[in-house]
Amino acid sequence: MNKLRKHMSGNTTNVVEAKNLAEIKAPTGNLYESIAIIAKRANQINVSLKEELHNKLEEFASHTDSLEEIHENKEQIEISRAYEKMPNPSILATQEFLESKVYYRKNEDDLFR
C-alpha cells in the first residue's frame, strides 16, 4: 500500500458531513480563498491517486486487442474496489486543511488592489 493511501485512509470517513464555515474561513480570513486552497489540494490528491491506480492496473493490462482474451482478474477487481472505497479527495483535502496540514502562500502579485 502506498504512503499516500495509508495516510489518507487512516481516520477519514467516506461520509460527507456539514462543516462550520467559520472554521474553514479562519486560516485565511476569506471563505472563498480557503475553498480555492481546498479545491487545489483535492485536485493534487486526485491526480496522485489516479496515477497510482493506473500504475497498479497497468501490471494486469493485456496488450492484445482480441475480445476473446478478455477475462476477469480478481486481483485487478480487488484493487479497483479498494480505490472506490477510499474517501473522496475533496473530503480528504478539507480534513487536511482544517488540521493545518496544507501548505499555502499568498502571491502578492495575484491580489487585486
Per-residue model confidence as pLDDT tens digits over 52-68: 888 887 877 666 555 55
The answer to whether residue 26 sits within a structural domain is yes
The answer to whether residue 12 sits within a structural domain is no
Instruction: Give pLDDT, residue 63.
Output: 61
The answer to whether residue 65 sits within a structural domain is no
pTM to 2 decimal places: 0.73
CA angle 12/93/59 to nearest 5° reads 80
Per-residue model confidence as pLDDT tens digits over 5-17: 555 556 667 777 8
Domain count for the chain, please give it: 1
CA distance 31 to 48: 26
Instruction: Give pLDDT, residue 59.
Output: 77
Helices (H), the chain: 3-8, 21-25, 31-58, 74-85, 89-98
Per-residue model confidence as pLDDT tens digits over 6-46: 555 566 677 778 889 999 999 999 999 999 999 999 999 99
The answer to whether residue 9 sits within a structural domain is no
Q: If you average pLDDT over residues 73-95, what whole number do you get?
A: 85
